[in-house]
Amino acid sequence: MSFELRILHQEWSSPDAGSYDICSHGHIFLKVHDIVLSDEEQNWTINVTGLLLLKSLRDGRHTVEFRHQPMFNCCGGLLEGMGCYVCADWNVRFEGDDVILDDFRTWYSQEEGKQFYPGLQVRMSRERYREQVLSFARQAKEFYFSTPKQIFDEWERELTEKFWKEYDELLHRL
C-alpha cells in the first residue's frame, strides 16, 4: 500500500491523567510509499489528529509552511493554532473519486529542523482514504471516552464539548 496510517499506541499525558486530560497522546504510524514519516519515536496528540483528518476528508487541505494547526502535533490543543513546532503535515486534494496527498513535511526537533519530501506524493481512491481516516478517528474516540472525564474549568468544558460535537458530526456524516 502506498499510504498507511494507523494508531500504534494511545495513552494519557501521565498514568493518572485520563480523568482530566483533554487530549489523548500516543504514537502514529505514517508511511508513504517506502518512507516512514512517523512511528513509535514520535508522540502526538491523537484526538486532535483525528479531528484534523476528518476535516481533511471533508474539505481537503492546502497548507503553506505550517501557518495553521499541523495534522500531527506533539502538544496541540483543542484550539486551532495551538501547539508547538514539533509536527508532521501534508496537503490533501481531491480529483474526482481520487485523493492526492503531497507536500509532506515533518519537524521532529529544533536540531533537525523542518524536513521536506519533494516529489513524495500518493494518489488513492477517496474511499480508501476515507476508510483509514474513519478507522483512526473511531479508535481515537473510543480510547478518549474509555475513561470518564472530570473537567472542572467551565472554559475547558465548553471547548471540549465544542470539539467533540464537531468530531461526532464529521464522523457520522463522512
Give the pLDDT of the chain (174 residues) as one tens digit per residue.
Answer: 699 999 999 999 888 887 888 889 999 999 999 999 999 999 999 999 999 999 999 999 876 544 577 888 887 666 665 667 788 999 999 999 999 999 999 988 777 778 999 999 999 999 999 999 999 999 999 999 999 888 888 988 899 999 999 999 999 998
Return the CATH class of domain 3-173: alpha beta
- DSSP reduced 3-state for 150: coil
Closest CA to 137 of 24, 40, 21: 24
The reported pTM is 0.92
Long-range contacts of 142-147, Cβ-Cβ distance < 8 Å, separation of 24 or more? 143/10, 143/24, 143/46, 144/24, 144/46, 144/47, 146/18, 147/12, 147/18, 147/19
Torsion angle in degrees (nearest 10) through CA of 18, 163, 60, 80: -90
**Helices and strands (H, E) in the chain, number of each type:** 3, 9
C-alpha cell at 117: 519530501
**pLDDT, position 80:** 64
